[in-house]
Amino acid sequence: LRPGTPADMCLLLKQKRRNSDRRKEQSRDAARCRRGKESEVFSELAKALPLPEATSLQMDKSSVMRLCISYLKIRSLMPDVMGNEISGSDGLSVKADKLYPKALDGFVMVIAKDGDVVFLSESVTKHVGLLPIDVMGYSIFDYTHPCDHEEIRELLQPKPSHSKDVMEEMSFFMRIKCTLTNRGRNVNLKSASYKVVKCTGHFVPHTEEAKMKIGLPEETDLTAVVLVAEPVPHPSNIEVPLDGSTFLSRHNMDMTFTYCDDRIRELIGYDSDELIGKSVYSYHHAMDSQEIEKSYKTLFSKGQAETKAYRFLARSGGYVWVVTQATMINSTRSQKPQCVVCVNYVLSDIEHGRTVMADCQGGLADLRHSFIPSKSSFFVPHSKKEKST
């Protein structure tokens, strides 16, 4: 209807305005109700997570969703886990499970094939300063050195030659972001440095039985890697005093000795002075050369490394088993590599002490200098002996 007078027009405009305001108010009420219901759902989800109540109350919606997805992946890998309790476990085993992370000199990581961090133990905060709830659900590539990404991707893909029933063991080094300073203070992630950690673990295959228990499609593959990550300690930050079975050594960048602890004499028999200027490669058992070379390649590419147990040749013959933690030290002025400092842990007594395996061992050197052959001891072929007679 067309308004007949200006008063009618004004009345119509007011009515339209009231209708518009009413619709806006209804829309705001609906949105408020929707947000309220959504918040209730997220609050229930947060409470369902195995986290302290104070932590769950502070999380935003994206964090709740991220951690819920990680928790569901963990449940798929361990379908027998119900909440915080393991079916059939007694109180003693539950207490022991809580002590395992404290006994580790590192932290536990569970990483999916695509690189997502599914689980991270609380001890990660002690070693690198990161909080588990800030990392879980994100990609491991967001927290590791870019030069290590290709190696990590290859390791996260199980080899087709291995059976799903066999846990494929792995061991590697990677650089992870560290927000802890040398003085123990925390910095933000943008200012974080990198710390070298030694990762050992194996694949956990996602079985058909586990898929059926939680109702996943058959084509779903949630195979993951369980790792124990142990930071390689810097020589200047070693808190525990070195015992009598440990000695320090310093080397040039070509791994020749420039210094060695006097304790090496009691442990392996060498005088520290006789090692100066000698290459460390001369004192390794030949059968361990490949592993030693691999460890030193890691050292020079990542700054730190820890060897597997290898055989260090003893002065009088034989060898001892040793594990070495090596750290590359940079110059304070140029920040270029200056030397390598090694902490050497002797694991055994001298084995096969009467067996001389290399020129560096005193048994062979003493034998070479003290043995003076006589003419009667020379080898004479049998045919010549017959002619002389």
Instruction: Flag the least confident range among 93-107, 171-185, 291-305.
Output: 93-107
Instruction: Give the pLDDT score at 167.
Output: 63
Instruction: Give the pLDDT score at 387.
Output: 46
Instruction: Give the pLDDT score at 259.
Output: 96
Among 161, 80, 155, 79, residue whose Cα is nearest residue 111: 155
Cα–Cα separations (whole angstroms), residue 66 to 32, 61, 367, 389: 24, 9, 69, 96
Residue pLDDT, tens place only, 255-289: 999 999 999 999 999 999 999 999 999 999 999 99
What average pLDDT does the chain have?
81
99 or 251: which leads in pLDDT: 251
The average pLDDT across 240-266 equals: 91
Instruction: Give the pLDDT score at 361.
Output: 82
Instruction: Give the pLDDT score at 34.
Output: 84
The average pLDDT across 297-319 equals: 94
Instruction: Give the pLDDT score at 196.
Output: 96
46 or 109: which leads in pLDDT: 109
39's tokens: 């918040």
Residue pLDDT, tens place only, 19-33: 777 777 778 878 888
Burial of 260 (0-12, 13-18, 19+ CB in 10 A): buried
Binning the chain into helix, strand and coil, the percentages to the nearest 5 are 40, 25, 35
Residue 3 confidence class, pLDDT cut points 50, 70, 90: low
Residue pLDDT, tens place only, 13-67: 777 777 777 777 778 878 888 888 888 888 888 888 887 777 777 788 888 888 8
8-state DSSP, 332 = T
- 53-231 falls under which CATH superfamily? PAS domain (3.30.450.20)
Is residue 192 scored above 50 in pLDDT?
Answer: yes
Instruction: Give the pLDDT score at 85.
Output: 46
Is residue 82 scored above 70 in pLDDT?
Answer: no
Domain range summary for the chain, segments of one domain joined by +? 53-231, 246-370
Q: Out of 3.30.365.10, 3.40.50.10490, 3.30.450.20, 3.40.50.2000, select the CATH number for domain 246-370.
A: 3.30.450.20
Residues contacting residue 50 through CB under 8 Å, at least 6 positions apart: 71, 83, 84
Kindly state the percentage of the chain with pLDDT values over 70.
79
383 or 244: which leads in pLDDT: 244
Instruction: Give the pLDDT score at 86.
Output: 42
Is residue 294 scored above 90 in pLDDT?
Answer: yes
* C-beta separation of 176 from 195 below 8 A: yes
Q: Phi/psi of residue 256, each to 5°? A: -90, 145
Residues contacting residue 184 through CB under 8 Å, at least 6 positions apart: none
Instruction: Flag the least confident range among 4-13, 157-166, 293-302.
Output: 157-166
Give yes or no on whether 53-231 and 246-370 have one common fold: yes
Instruction: Give the pLDDT score at 376.
Output: 42
The Cα–Cα gap between 175 and 92 comes to 36
